Amino acid sequence: MTTDLHDELLGVVRDLTQREVAPRSADLDAGDRDAFAHCWTAACAIGLDRVLLAEEFGGAGLGPADLLAMIEEMAAGDAGLAVAVLLHNVALAALPAEAVAAVADGERWSVTLPPLAPSLAFGISKGSAGVSGRIPFVPGALGAGGFAILDPAPGSAALFFHSTAPGLTIQPYPFQMGWRSSPAAGLVLDEVTATPVPHSVGSDSGATRLVRLGVSAVARGIAGRAWELAFEYAHSRHQGGVFIIEHGAVRSLLAGMAVQLQGVGPAAISRAWLDGDDGGAIAAKVLASDAAVGVTTDAVQVFGGAGYMCETGVEKLMRDAMYCRLYPEPNWLVSDQLVASFERRH
């Protein structure tokens, strides 16, 4: 895509984020379903629900890099919504054409990744009567129309089923401090009839890579917003007879934030995508989410006591950032896979 078109598209997403999402960010955080429905509809209206699909499926026919850039823009408004957009797009990309055609306008899907560590294994099994087992923490599972399970077992690239499928129980999580507009749930499957997707449909490890890179885009969006808010506040709050930006202590907080933001620039994301580099995607996710937690924590610090109050909206960014560190798996868990991906290369 040309840079001009890319910028124009991003401009549209930014505009939507500023107009529709940001003003509702507190409601979204409070779990207001109407606010979410409004934002989701608005996102669908500009085609954000079908970014990767070819034009014949009503899609925009854009590439993952475009999707990631859009996700980052949206996350500056609300991370939960950005995650919903991300997982929906990955789910549709994993589905076969007929299934995509059957997804109604405005319907939202979610997706689950194969667990990285054996200790987190889903424990789902395919029997003749259907799929059984439990899948933990699926963001946006509440209210989703259907689910794609990526790489469930050798033989198929994915399984998919509708949320109304007999045998499926959706178990909400009692408390969720981050991404609150995408309420997560565990899926308990008791002989659910799920449709397998053959590998040819194009959901190779690219889908899982895309989710991790997507989460790093969400983290960048959150961190960027936190930086903006803190920078602005530092120029408006007076203490010690000057704007607090004049204090070395505040400057060093802001400088530290800027450095962390620089370190997770878009290059890392697109390189990992283009090179088909799973290890790179994991690393990008770890780096970006750690940076997001660091940047948002410091942003609250720049605000002082005001930052701790929900009203200013910075503490929400901190909570959302922490979820980037924990999903699709906690950062500490990736060390084996990361090293393994380098071992494969040598």
Partner 1 sequence: MFERGVSATVPPVRSLEEAFPRFRARDPSTVRVLGDVRERAHAFAQQHVRPLALDIDQRAAADPRYVDWDLVKAGCEHGLLSLAIPSAAGGQGGLVQEMCVTLEELCAACPGVGNIFGAHGLGMLPLLVTGVTHWDGLLHDIAVAERQGRPVLMACAVTEPDAGTDVEEVDLMRRGKITSRAVLVAGGWRLNGTKRFISNGSLADWVTVCMPSDPKRPAETWTCFLVDAHSEGFSVGRVEHKMGQRACPAAELIFDDVFVPDERVVGRPGDGMPSTLLVLAASRPAVAAIATGIARGAYDRVLGWLEQEPTLIGRQQVQLALARMEEEIHLARQGYLDAATEVDATISPALHHPLVRAMRMVPSSTRRRPLVRRWITSPWARQTTVAVLRHTVTDRAVTRSLALSSLAKAHAADVAVSVTGLALELVGLDAGEIRAELEKLWRDAKLTQIYEGTNQLNRLTVYRGLSRQETMVALPPSRLRLVGGRQ
Ligand X SMILES: Cc1cc2nc3c(=O)[nH]c(=O)nc-3n(C[C@H](O)[C@H](O)[C@H](O)COP(=O)(O)OP(=O)(O)OC[C@H]3O[C@@H](n4cnc5c(N)ncnc54)[C@H](O)[C@@H]3O)c2cc1C
Q: Give contact residues for partner 1 (rule: CB under 8 A).
A: 118-120, 136-137, 173-175, 177, 184, 186, 238-242, 247, 249-250, 253, 293, 297, 300-301, 304-305, 307-311, 315, 318-319, 322-323, 325-327, 329-333, 335
Compute the least distance from the CB of residue 266 to partner 1, in Å.
25
Q: What's the CA gap between 232 and 229, in Å, rounded? A: 5
State the CB neighbour count (10 A cutoff) for residue 307. 23
Q: What's the CA gap between 327 and 310, in Å, rounded? A: 23
Which among ligand X, partner 1, none contacts residue 261 (Cβ within 5 to 8 A by kind)? none
> Residue 227 in 3-state DSSP?
helix
> Residue 108 in 3-state DSSP?
coil
Tell me whether residue 154 or residue 305 sits nearer to partner 1 (CB atom): 305
For residue 119 the two structure tokens come to 């200790």
Q: What Cα–Cα distance (Å) separates residue 213 from each residue in 44, 78, 83, 218, 243? A: 22, 17, 11, 9, 38
Compute the least distance from the CB of residue 249 to partner 1, in Å.
4
Q: What's the CA gap between 127 and 306, in Å, rounded? A: 55
- Which range in 101-109, 237-245, 260-268, 286-294 contacts ligand X by CB under 6 A? 237-245
Provide the 8-state DSSP code for 201.
G
| Stretch (H or E) spanning 152 | strand 146-153
- Which range in 26-34, 84-92, 110-118, 299-307 contacts ligand X by CB under 6 A? 299-307
- Which range in 280-288, 289-297, 303-311, 330-338 contacts ligand X by CB under 6 A? 303-311
Residue choice 301, 331, 337, 341 for contact with ligand X (CB under 6 A): 301
Contact flag: residue 312 with ligand X (CB under 6 A) = no
Which among partner 1, ligand X, none contacts residue 331 (Cβ within 5 to 8 A by kind)? partner 1
Tell me whether residue 70 or residue 302 sits nearer to ligand X (CB atom): 302
Tell me whether residue 232 or residue 336 sits nearer to ligand X (CB atom): 232
Which among partner 1, ligand X, none contacts residue 322 (Cβ within 5 to 8 A by kind)? partner 1
Rounded to 5 degrees, φ, ψ at 89 are -65, -40
Q: What's the CA gap between 24 and 340, in Å, rounded? A: 43
For residue 343 the two structure tokens come to 């071992």
Residue choice 11, 256, 276, 304 for contact with ligand X (CB under 6 A): 304
